[in-house]
């Protein structure tokens, strides 16, 4: 899936420090500065309607929230703690039963205090979205030491630098 | 019509959380069971939802803080449960959109939720939801959402 296995591995760390992200099975499949794509494999415990087998909308909420945060971290010049200010999600269609869910999120504007994000969730193609989201994150949001973010932001930075080096 | 959903309506109409049957029913919904959400209809016509804390729900392990997506999911479930309760809908409401404002981090403690249906429409309903932890005056997050309360597909 990914042409950048190193970045994939590094970006995976963005998720491994988050217990709930592990619990619903979020996996980052590609990452670049300010843009992250991730996957939640279809699983029985995520079903919202047992009759249809459709995944609960809340799973998509959690996924978009988390991966939007990852895209902010990947865009930051220096590691810092972040917190969601607000997140709006538009649901356009249910996710088809049995299909893995993907999402791509983008941090499209970074100020000193606030990061702005948008994202799309889909199963087969981003052109046929399940949901769109738009939100904002507070930067340097709390005093927790951003160990996970710290490690991964710098790791991604290194990977990107290495990638640029390879490309030139 | 989903038989499960009919069971859910029956549960709310009975309004008998004491016998444990409602709890078992809610917990039979996989994602709600996974999160551990409980419901309890109140005298004032609202349904109080409770999310007991567990380590799996953490988003920031250092604070620790409940994952924002868990809070969003909890608010969405609270809104849907309230719509079923007051609307006596014959089908599961479907979320059109939700906007969540996060005001405090969710600490390692139970989260409580309640929803107000601003308008129960024939096709579309508007719901406000809030959640808190130790003090109902100090809200953790609020949300506003639109839900389809019609059986029409598409």
- A18·B59 Cβ contact <8 A: yes
Note down the domain range covering A60: 5-167
Mean pLDDT of the A26-39 span: 91
Using a CB-CB cut-off of 8 Å, the residues of chain A touching B63 are 142, 144
| Total tally of structural domains belonging to chain A | 1
Among chain B residues, the shortest Cα distance to A90 is held by B97
Using a CB-CB cut-off of 8 Å, the residues of chain B touching A81 are 60
Q: Work out the minimum CA distance from A48 to partner chain B, whole angstroms.
A: 6
State how far Cα A167 lies from the chain centre: 25
Q: What is the pLDDT of residues B62-71, one digit of tens each?
A: 888 999 999 9
Is the model's pLDDT at B115 over the cut of 90? yes
* Residue with the larger pLDDT of the pair B100 and A29: B100
Q: CA B10 to CA B74: how far, in whole Å?
A: 22
Q: What is the pLDDT of residues A127-161, one digit of tens each?
A: 999 999 999 999 986 665 554 444 455 555 555 55
Decide: residue A165, CB within 10 A, 0-12 exposed, 13-18 middle, 19+ buried: exposed
The reply to whether A143 touches chain B by the CB within 8 Å rule is no
Fold exhibited by the domain B3-148: Thiol Ester Dehydrase; Chain A (3.10.129)
* Residue with the larger pLDDT of the pair A17 and B88: A17
- B97·A85 Cβ contact <8 A: no
Residues of chain B above pLDDT 90, percent? 49
Which residues make Cβ contacts (< 8 Å) with residue B101, sequence separation at least 6? A85, A86, B141, B142, B143
- Domain coordinates in residue numbering, chain B: 3-148
Tokens of A79: 């590691």
| CATH classification of the domain holding A153 | 3.10.129.10
ipTM of this predicted structure: 0.78
Is the model's pLDDT at A163 over the cut of 60? no
The DSSP call for residue B106 is B
> How many Å from the N-terminal Cα to the C-terminal Cα in chain A?
23
Residue in A135, A124, A130 with CA at minimum distance from that of residue A57: A130
Q: Are B27 and B33 in contact (CB under 8 A)?
A: yes
Is the model's pLDDT at B101 over the cut of 80? yes
Mean pLDDT of the A74-92 span: 89
Q: CA B139 to CA A62: how far, in whole Å?
A: 20
Q: CA B96 to CA B105: how far, in whole Å?
A: 26
Nearest to B31 among A56, A87, A145 (CB): A56
Q: Please tell me the least confidently modeled range out of A62-66, A93-97, A137-141.
A: A137-141
Query: At B150, is the pLDDT very low, low, confident or very high (cuts 50, 70, 90)?
Result: confident
- A19·B58 Cβ contact <8 A: yes
Is the model's pLDDT at A11 over the cut of 80? no
Task: Determine the residue among A79, A84, A95, A129 to mutate to test chain B binding: the one whose Cβ has the most chain B Cβ atoms within 10 Å.
Answer: A84
Nearest to B95 among A17, A57, A85 (CB): A57
Using a CB-CB cut-off of 8 Å, the residues of chain A touching B29 are 47-50
- Position B41 scores a pLDDT of 82
């Amino acid at each position: 899936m990914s042409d950048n296995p190193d970045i994939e591995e590094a970006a995976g760390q963005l998720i491994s420090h988050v217990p709930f992200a592990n619990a619903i099975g979020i996996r980052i499949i590609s990452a670049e500065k300010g843009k992250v794509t991730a996957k939640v494999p279809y699983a029985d415990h995520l079903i919202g309607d047992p009759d249809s087998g459709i995944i609960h909308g809340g799973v998509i909420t959690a996924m978009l929230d988390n991966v939007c945060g990852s895209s902010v971290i990947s865009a930051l010049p220096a590691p810092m703690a972040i917190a969601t200010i607000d997140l709006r999600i538009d649901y356009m269609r249910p996710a088809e039963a049995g299909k893995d869910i993907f999402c791509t999120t983008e941090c499209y504007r970074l100020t000193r205090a606030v990061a702005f994000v948008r994202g799309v969730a889909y199963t087969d193609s981003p052109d046929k979205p399940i949901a769109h989201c738009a939100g904002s994150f507070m930067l340097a949001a709390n005093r927790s030491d951003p160990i996970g973010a710290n490690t991964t932001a710098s790791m991604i930075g290194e990977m990107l630098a290495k990638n640029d080096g390879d490309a030139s | 019509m989903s038989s499960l959903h009919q069971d859910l309506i029956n549960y709310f109409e009975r309004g008998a959380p004491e016998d444990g049957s409602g709890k078992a029913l809610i917990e039979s919904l996989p994602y709600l069971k996974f999160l551990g959400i409980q419901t309890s209809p109140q005298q004032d016509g609202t349904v109080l939802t409770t999310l007991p804390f567990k380590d799996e729900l953490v988003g920031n392990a250092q604070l620790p803080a409940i994952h924002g997506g868990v809070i969003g999911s909890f608010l969405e479930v609270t809104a849907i449960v309230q719509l079923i309760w007051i609307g006596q809908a014959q089908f599961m409401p479907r979320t059109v959109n939700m906007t969540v404002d996060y005001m405090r981090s969710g600490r390692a403690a139970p989260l409580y939720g309640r929803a107000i249906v601003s308008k129960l429409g024939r096709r579309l309903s508007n719901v406000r939801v809030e959640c808190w932890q130790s003090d109902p005056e100090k809200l953790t997050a609020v949300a506003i959402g639109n839900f389809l309360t019609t059986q029409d597909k598409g």
